[in-house]
Amino acid sequence: MCLAIPGKVIETLESDGLKVAKVSFGGMVKQVCLEYTPDAVPGDYVLVHVGFALSRIDQEEAERTYKLLEELGQLTELDS
């Protein structure tokens, strides 16, 4: 509930006046708000919590964290 999940920015766009992105989490694509990481561009990895990117991270960190959260069963928020 207070863990952020890493994902890869696929495409940036605008929705209701907000900067958003399509972000891939291990193949599952969800819309994520980029207002707090406005510099993120396609190809970047971001830490996402409840639909908001909170920070940019490198690919190694993203892969490692994703794998850990998968093992811990902490990816359920993506199913909502």
Binding stretches for another protein (CB under 8 A): 1-4, 16-18, 30, 33, 35-38, 47, 49-52, 54-55, 57-58, 60-61, 63-65, 68, 71-74, 76-80
Q: Which residues contact 3 (CB under 8 A, 6 or more apart)?
A: 49, 69, 74
Minimum CB separation of residue 62 from another protein in Å reads 10
Q: Which residues contact 74 (CB under 8 A, 6 or more apart)?
A: 3, 5
Minimum CB separation of residue 6 from another protein in Å reads 10
Minimum CB separation of residue 29 from another protein in Å reads 12
29 neighbors 42 (Cβ within 8 angstroms): no
